Amino acid sequence: MPRNNAELPPNNAERTNYPKVFNHCYWGRGTYDWDQDVWDNRNTLAKELDILPYPNYTMLLETHHPRAQKRGANGWWGDHSEYYRLPRTPERHSTSGRVILFSPYHVGSDDHEVLISEGWTKIKPMYGNGAVTYMKIVSSIRKGATIMDVPDSLK
């Protein structure tokens, strides 16, 4: 929902080409002065996947990220998590799929390897100022869902 106060700087979501997509998350409501690359990467994400907002759904992260399941979606393994829905298409007529992002500031090489083994893909920064972003696209919210490929344009 657009803000009415003309004196407020635009929030992050309003600085993208897809404010309705990004306005639902913590990043979108912020007014940080990130590098232009972050907004460009967000625009590419929304355009490439045609994502739709999806309410914060911690269970989705915990189902598809065993480390978060063991410890809860707090700490770096669930830092700045975001959830999106893919629209139904003829190719995905039975499911709309879900996109999960999280952007921690510090990930050691051992933790990176764990994430890759769980099907996460390190993508272009979506949060900013040193945060690393990982993405997983899954066919459903259920455990055992098919992991879908992340487009190369996001890597």
Pick from 84, 72, 83, 79: nearest CA to 131: 79
Report how far apart, in Å, the C-alpha atoms of 16 and of each of 22, 28, 72, 86 are: 8, 9, 31, 19
Q: Domain-by-domain residue ranges, the chain?
A: 18-154
Look-up: residue for tokens 């404010």? Answer: 19
What pLDDT is recorded for position 125? Answer: 94
Highest mean pLDDT among 3-12, 66-75, 93-102, 138-147: 138-147
For the chain, give the percent of residues with pLDDT over 70.
77
pLDDT band at 72 (very low <50, low <70, confident <90, very high): very low
- CB crowding 90-124: b at 16 or more within 10 Å, else e: eeeeebebbbbbbbbeebeeeeeebbeeebbbbbb
